[in-house]
Structure formats: structure tokens, C-alpha cells
Amino acid sequence: MKNCLIMFSLTALLSCTFAVAEQPEKIGPALVYQAEMDFEDAKLNLVDAIEAEGMVISSTSHAKTMLDRTAESVNGKGNIYDKAEIIQFCKVDLSHKLVSANPHNLVLCPYSIAVYSLKTKPEIIYFSYRAPYLDEPVVKDIQKLLDQLILEAIDA
């Protein structure tokens, strides 16, 4: 019985450890999270996390479809992604602070999170967004929001 309790406790501890997502990895201009999960679940979880914050998705870019469709005409590789979409949305209070700090920050709206899997490893889902380059407090708030949304999508 004692061994069972110890094994149960270790199993529970390890489960908790793996449920927590790592910090994003900086790859080029992006901050990238990864998780082993189904693409449709990942996308739906992200949409749910965005909408649960009261935000509205302004568009979804079907990146894989566009890249595959145009690859031949530009001698591109094509077929890099198994699935890939970019979700765009806005949080009004943060956007107002962003443009109030500098009206040229408008270029940072709407916020985007890419959700994708690579053709070579379709079971790994990547969530990424542009690494912030401005050192304004509101940008840090936006980064916190994007991290929170991704972590909610991964942990859902």
C-alpha cells in the first residue's frame, strides 16, 4: 500500500510538471511555444481563450493554403506545413494605450498568433507571435496577454 501511495504521488507530481508549458523559445523574430496536441483542438482552444477575454477575432489567415497555392509560381518549397493559420484580434484598452504612447504603433494592431504544425512532425503544434521590440510598458502588457492566451490554449 505504501509503495502504491508513493507511485501515485510521483505520478501526480510528474503529471503536474508536464502540464505546465515552458517559456517560449525565441526563433528569429518570433516567440514560439510548442505542445503535442491535435491542431483543431489547439486552434479551437486558442479561439476560446481569446473570446473568453471578451475579444473578437478580426480575421483568420489560412497561411498554409496560401503558401501551398503560390509556391510553384515563385519557385518556393511549398508543403512546409501540415496545417497553419494566423489568428488576428484586438484588445481595445491595450490598443488605445499603444497608440496613445505613439500613434505610429498602429502598425502593431491587430495582434496575431500563428498556430501551425510542420509537415515533418504534424503531432507538434506551434504557437508563435512576433517578439516585441519596443520597450514601452503597454507592449509588455500585450506580450503578457499573448503568453496567457497561448498557455490557456495549451492547458485546456
Residue 38, in any domain of the structure = yes
Read off the pLDDT of residues 84-130 as tens digits, 9 standing for 90 and up.
999 999 999 999 999 999 999 899 899 999 999 999 999 999 999 99
pTM: 0.83
d(C-alpha 7, C-alpha 47), whole Å: 37
Count of structural domains, the chain: 1
pLDDT at 23: 87
Does residue 21 fall inside a structural domain? no
Q: Is residue 127 part of a domain?
A: yes
The verdict on residue 79 lying in a domain is yes
Residue 67 counted as domain residue: yes
Cβ–Cβ < 8 Å for 105, 99: yes
pLDDT of 140 > 80? The answer is yes
Q: Which of 2-6, 54-58, 73-77, 143-147 has the lowest mean pLDDT?
A: 2-6
The kind and range of the H/E element at 150 are helix 137-155
The answer as to whether 73 is a domain residue is yes
Judge whether 129 and 31 are in contact, CB under 8 Å: yes
Range of the domain at 40: 29-155
- Specify if 9 maps to a domain: no
Q: What share of the chain is helix, strand, coil (3-state, %, to 5)?
A: 50, 25, 25
Q: What is the pLDDT at residue 148?
A: 97
Query: CB of 32 within 8 A of CB of 155?
Result: no
Kindly state whether residue 43 falls inside one of the protein's structural domains: yes
Q: For residues 50 and 18, what is the distance between their CA atoms, to the nearest angstrom?
A: 24
3-state secondary structure 62-118: CHHHHHHHHCHHHCCCCCCEEEEEEEEECCHHHHHHHHHHCHHHHHHCCEEEEEEEE
Q: How confident is the model at residue 72 (pLDDT cuts 50, 70, 90)?
A: confident
Q: What is the pLDDT of residue 147?
A: 96
CATH number at residue 123: 3.30.310.70
